[in-house]
A and B are shown apart, each in its own frame.
Chain A
Amino acid sequence: MISAQRWLPLVLVVVLVAGYPLVRIQQRVDARLQNFRVEEQMLYLSSGEWVKRLALGYDGLLACLYWTRAVQHYGRERLGPKRYQLLYNLLDITTSLDPQLLLAYRYGAIFLTELPPSGPGRPDLAIKLLQKGIENNPDYWRFWYDLGFVYYRSLEDYQLASEAFLEGSQHPNANAWMKVMAAKIAAEGGDRQTARFLWQELYNSTDDPALRQNAFNHLRGLQVDDEVEYLQALLQRYRQQTGRRAESFQELVAAGWLREWPTDPTGHPYFLVAGEQILLHEESPIDTSEKGRRE
């Protein structure tokens, strides 16, 4: 019998000698197959019903795994190629496997509606997902809120948004403001106050940290829009009174029009371009503002 002292170093050497080239070869194969693998996944996993049948009753477990894959896919695409090809399919399979996984519908709809490059910008698919959620969970009134929100924010279809809020308001457990919101949107269409209320409500109604963070980002974006509008009005008044455009905010500070250089809600300074365009600092994490957005 050979002692472990003799064979162990030999085994380690063999594993290292053979292992290193194996890892390198696998990496090269991965690099060459990367594009094909996306197509492969589409071919095998596109039907939620089939995955459910093959789950042997462990639908809930598979749903959690698919949901994790959807989250990972979204994050990876957001940082990388920004194609989001599998996102809807993964969400569809997740919700077919576990129709009660409310978070997948709500969060999935937000993922799908985010505009490129932060998301695929597919409100149509978000609506499809939410309608599936409503069908599977008729007692959950918040899907009507989410649906109204997609119509309101992404499609700017205030008629359908109002109808969704009204439909949701008829649910026995729905918040009273759903009816108010339906009336307000029907009467006034899109305004920033309504958008702020909707994001604030989303922020208040969820315990999920990521969902809250997303709502918080949008609230900060709206605050930037307010501030940019205020600063633009100030610049216009300055121009009217002095007869020339301000070169920078420093000029307004020196003239006593501003107490200090204005900053966004994260503390990053605003920039004045060509005397009238106000932009967010390039390091500012706020990417949800309409007015201060950097191209």
Chain B
Amino acid sequence: MHRVAAIALNTFREAVRDRVLYNLIVFALLLIATAILFGEISIGVQKLILVNLGLAAITFFGLAIAIFIGIGLVYKEMDKRTLYALLAKPVRRSEFILGKFCGLGLTLLVNTGLMAVGFFLALFYVKRSFDAGDSYLLVAIYFIFLQLLLATALALLFSTFSSPALSAGFTLGLFLVGSFSSDLRELGQAVELPGLAAVMEVVYYLVPNFRNFNVATSVAHGVAVPFELVLYNTAYAVLYGGLVVALSVLIFHNRNLK
């Protein structure tokens, strides 16, 4: 456990050194521009657009970090040959993968947390107060974090056996397919092709269902998020993410590093 924590902290420090957190400046500017601009050019949706854009920006900035750092987690260590020095020490391959995952997870947690602070400050600027409905925004941000952990797990998986460019393509592709999964299932049911509905049903359960975690439109209107959904989404992310990380460990364990 201690070794996993050491690798995780090192991964976090490396991300900070790589100026990953600079994206916060862009995020802050985006929110400020939105808060000021949309009050001028639209009618009555200043708060709505701030919430929707803020949550979308937290997702996309986080996703960019999860994918573009995640795909290099293993590859970079191998390319720079630092992995061999590390594995020569009493560190298991599984601990290395787990440490990398936790490190990027920590980076995303800090990044998402800081963005959430900026987001609520911008919201306060627009509304001049908070109400009970705003507490559901925290749930939406928590769901985004779960989404990012899933994306990190996928990027890490591809990073264990593929090049960074291909890993980025695979992860982004899976994110897109996972966001369209319910549409794919509907398509399978709508098109009268023998067996297609069953295939799409399998695809629906196989790919990570990223749409599960998107409640932005509802919480923007102050609609409550049921507690059961929080539990189910947490369980889904832990199970699915856990399986993907376990698969990464398995692949990396069997990989010939010579």
Contact = CB atoms under 8 A, between A and B. Distances in A.
Interface of A: 53, 56-61, 63-65, 67-68, 71-72, 98, 100-101, 103, 107, 208, 210-211
Interface in B17-50: 38, 41-45, 48-49
Nearest to A98: B217
B211 to A, nearest CB: 5
A58 B43 contact: no
B78 interface: no
B233 interface: no
A53 B183 contact: yes
Given A60-B217, A98-B217, A210 B43 contact: yes
Q: Of B43, B51, B179, B221, which is in contact with the most chain A CB atoms at under 10 Å from its CB?
A: B43
A71 B42 CA distance: 6
Contacts of A103: 43-45
Identify whether the interface residues of A are mostly helix, strand, loop, or mixed. Answer: helix
Contacts of B176: 56
30 contacts: A53-B180, A56-B180, A57-B210, A57-B211, A57-B214, A58-B52, A58-B216, A58-B217, A60-B216, A60-B220, A61-B49, A61-B53, A61-B55, A61-B56, A64-B38, A64-B48, A64-B49, A65-B49, A67-B42, A67-B45, A68-B38, A71-B42, A101-B48, A103-B43, A103-B44, A103-B45, A107-B43, A107-B44, A210-B43, A211-B43
A68 B39 CA distance: 10
A67 B49 CA distance: 10
A88 B211 CA distance: 29
Given A56-B176, A56-B180, A57-B210, A63 B43 contact: no
Interface string B48-67: 11011101100000000000
Interface string B162-181: 00000000000000100110
A60 B45 CA distance: 11
Q: Which are the 10 A-B pairs with shortest beta-carbon distances?
A: A60-B217, A57-B214, A61-B52, A64-B49, A68-B42, A60-B52, A103-B44, A56-B179, A64-B45, A208-B44
Interface of B: 38, 41-45, 48-49, 51-53, 55-56, 176, 179-180, 183, 210-211, 214, 216-218, 220-221, 223
A63 B38 contact: no
A57 B215 CA distance: 8
A100 B42 contact: no
A57 B45 contact: no
A31 to B, nearest CB: 23
User: Which of B49, B52, B217, B220 gathers most chain A CB within 10 Å?
Assistant: B217
Nearest to A208: B44
A103 B51 CA distance: 16
Nearest to B220: A60
A268 B42 CA distance: 31
Contact of A58 (B41, B42, B56): B56
Nearest to A68: B42
A53 B51 CA distance: 21
A68 B41 contact: yes
A58 B180 CA distance: 12
Contacts of B217: 58-60, 63, 98, 100
